[in-house]
Structure 1
Amino acid sequence: MNTETAEKPFLIVGSGTETVAPGLHILRGQGQSFVAETDVGLVVVDTGPGGAVTQGMVEAVRQLSDAPLHALCFSHGHIGYNAGLPQWLAHAAERGEPPPRVIAHRNVRRRLARYRETHALQQRMAEIQFKRRPGFFEHRMPLHAPTETFDEVLAIGQGLQRVELRWAPSETDDAIALWSPAQRVLYGGAALIDSIPNIGTPFRTLRDTVRWADTLEALAGLGARLAVREFGPTIDGEDQVRQVLAHTARALRWLRAEVVRGMNEGLGERELLARIRFPDELFGVPWMKPSYGDPSYIVRDIYRSENGWWDRNPTSLHPEPPEAVGQAVADAIADKGAVLRHARALATQGRTQLALHVVDLLATAGGDAPEIAEARTLKAGWLRARAGEVQSYVSRNLYQVSADMLEQGTQARFSIR
């Protein structure tokens, strides 16, 4: 696999802190963590990925305040955001302080149990999605459990320094936000990013589109004058906060309605993807740009939430092994050169995706026959071309890593066919 960028920091947004209101600070690490100075001590949301990054986060906090750590909170249960928890606990112990509370939403425990059970799968998916070399995450995915959990709202502190941890199901069902009622500052965590909501990513389990819209509308109803994103610039001004959150929720509800309309007409997943056009008034605004996810991902997630796995083709109900299918299709094609010539012609016309569909007639077969090898080479090149045509970070990486695997002959092991 291409390792040119493999060792670059993983979702690291920088270092240091930024004060957004008295006693309320962005703490940069894996995404934007958050620090609240309360009358009972410091409340830190997300401890970072561990190692030098987390150490830098600890040092940055100590430039802000010498107050004891009161609580370390999980913004959500995704791997990496709280890998640095032991370093913060050790820091508190070195200062002679009692162990801080380690707080998360109650659903985090269930998520961590699933991640432990599927550890090798999670590791491999992360390597592909984030374009890292095989084995990169072998020692980079520690899981640490909270010591206490809550359901809806948990208040910490009193008076003007009181903050609330609020359940904000969105990217995960265990996501939380932090709200400062006195200063009307919201830290949105995973529910609030500077991109289209991260729903339906190709490797991940279902994410509830309507629930995310519900969360954004609930957060908009708080009346925040500042909203800090997990990634991206802070939203400044009550009207702007309300506009961004309400607009995003409206776009998500529009997607749900459009997909449901198509399903009720009998359309399958691919037919829906071909039909839906995303209106600029909803999807052309800066905070809905598809820089990480993509609106078509959301369409697929909504479709999957109401349908089974069947693609409506009876042939796929009880399929033969993929290797056997690929070989049988290749054997059935008497003029393999014609397939390659037609695929090349499509690519020359700029119809790269169609060229991929055609070349797969040969590229998925086994063996080292010259036409099969050529098909794989062509496919790898066109995958790289597709990577340059899409905005989504995830799509680009999946295309590029798949091309790497094809060129190195490792596609069968990782099911990148």
Structure 2
Amino acid sequence: MDKAEQEKPFLIVGTGTETVAPGLHILRGQGQSFVAETDAGLVVIDAGPGGPVTQGMIDAVRQLSNAPLHALCYSHGHVGYNSGVPMWLAHAAQRGDAPPRVIAHRNVLRRQARYRETEALQHRMAEIQFNRPASFFDRRLTMHAPTETFDDRLHIGQGDSRIELRWAPSETDDAIALWSPSQRVLYGGAALIDSIPNIGTPFRTMRDTVRWADTLDALAALGARKAVREFGATLEGEEQVRHVLTHTARALRWLRAEVVRLMNEGFNERGVLARIRFPDELFGVEWMKPTYGDPGYIVRDIYRSENGWWDRNPTSLHPEAPETIGRAVAEAITDKRGVIAHACSLAKEGRWQLALHVIDLLAIAEGDAPEIAEARSLKAEWLRERARQVPSYVSRNLYRVGADMIEQGTQGRFGIH
């Protein structure tokens, strides 16, 4: 990815608005935000990432209505979605309107406290996950505390324009949905996307698979005629909405049951991953494609939820430093050319993943010996090949960033090998 490509906004789905029902609109920005026209004023879900994107969102809203902004609401606590809050507040002040309410689920406060404590880590993880240059997120991931929070439900407005904010724990434990009872329109936010649920992302804390399924079942029970997703096309018709939500919930429950079955048979994490098969009837449908996450990621999260960190190899209980291990393994291999030749033969057969396992015997070692340098170069090349094979956006980026760091000699700074 060149510098121009890296500087493009990420997760931006376009500009403008789309009306889904009278007074209810999709607002495009970082993901699909939402606008509800209520008798109390406008309610906007997500302020956007700031800068030109948020300004475009504000301009788009003003094409819809001149009503005052009553509330800004956080769809969930991931930072970039609401970095643009100050711009909306300034806009309200310029109009002479009262400051809008800034509403979030109570758990957002705890998330923001954690993000402040681990700020450098959060920025590094985001750089790698989204394949961005160093310090890209230092000026983008700004946090703004809500002025009020709620636990389960919050009602805004009266009569036919009344809306409900509902706790919808899913990708995060602070996610919310918006429900219009009179028009039976649902905005699902982070709980409802057009790919397999984003559980088990390699850099993130655990996300509860069954709780996400519970949320989808609860949203399905509302009987929505339309459901707006954070990413992807709007679901149309009560039958389609219920089918997509309950199908996704059923697939998540199947994953939980199958991983537990294999754990009960005694398999460790890699053993479970090697044996699990994802049935097409559950995972072959359009809205379960692994375009961002991956079913294997979910398997890992479920496994971690019932296990400790140990991989069942006693050697790993009290390990030496990675660089010390790499050096000792490389020194122990007297036929380094043989290791490289065997790894290359696997690569020629198209067995890229197995080739990576073999080349790691040398590639993670320190030093500039010719065989070590060649092993690193081959690993970088094969990581890029693996990136071309996987559909998951996150996996592709991790492969590509890993290759870049190997070639730049910066992998140690990020703990990547």
Provide TM-score, normalisation by structure 1: 0.99
**Structure 2 residue aligned with 1:368:** 368
**Structure 2 residue aligned with 1:405:** 405
**Structure 1 residue aligned with 2:252:** 252
Pairing of 1:8-407 with structure 2 (within 5 A): 8-407=8-407
Q: Aligned partner of 2:106: which letter? A: R
Distance 2:8 2:342 in 1: 39
State the SS of the aligned residue for 1:323: helix
Q: Is the 8 A contact 1:193 1:230 kept in 2?
A: yes
Shift of 1:273: 0.3
Question: 1:160-202: CA deviations, max 9, x gaps?
Answer: 0000000000000000000000000000000000000000000
Shift of 1:5: 2.2
Task: Point out where structure 1 has 5 or more consecutive residues left out of the alignment.
Answer: none
Q: Is the 8 A contact 1:40 1:157 kept in 2?
A: yes
Distance 2:303 2:5 in 1: 34
Distance 2:416 2:388 in 1: 19
Task: Point out where structure 2 has 5 or more consecutive residues left out of the alignment.
Answer: none
**Following TM superposition, where does structure 1 have runs of at least 4 consecutive aligned residues deviating by more than 3 angstroms?**
1-4
Distance 2:79 2:265 in 1: 39
Identity score, percent: 79
Distance 2:229 2:215 in 1: 14
How many pairs align? 417
Q: Is the 8 A contact 1:79 1:141 kept in 2?
A: yes
Over aligned residues, Cα RMSD in angstroms?
0.7
Distance 1:173 1:141 in 2: 19
Shift of 1:416: 1.3
Distance 1:373 1:274 in 2: 31
Q: Aligned partner of 1:324: which letter? A: T
State the SS of the aligned residue for 2:19: strand
Provide TM-score, normalisation by structure 2: 0.99
Q: Is the 8 A contact 1:2 1:404 kept in 2?
A: no
Q: Is the 8 A contact 1:128 1:401 kept in 2?
A: yes
Distance 1:8 1:140 in 2: 12
Q: CA 1:334–1:2 in structure 2 vs 1: closer, same or farther (change >3 Å)?
A: farther
Q: Is the 8 A contact 1:29 1:48 kept in 2?
A: yes
State the SS of the aligned residue for 1:5: helix
Distance 2:2 2:330 in 1: 29
Shift of 1:10: 1.1
Shift of 1:138: 1.3
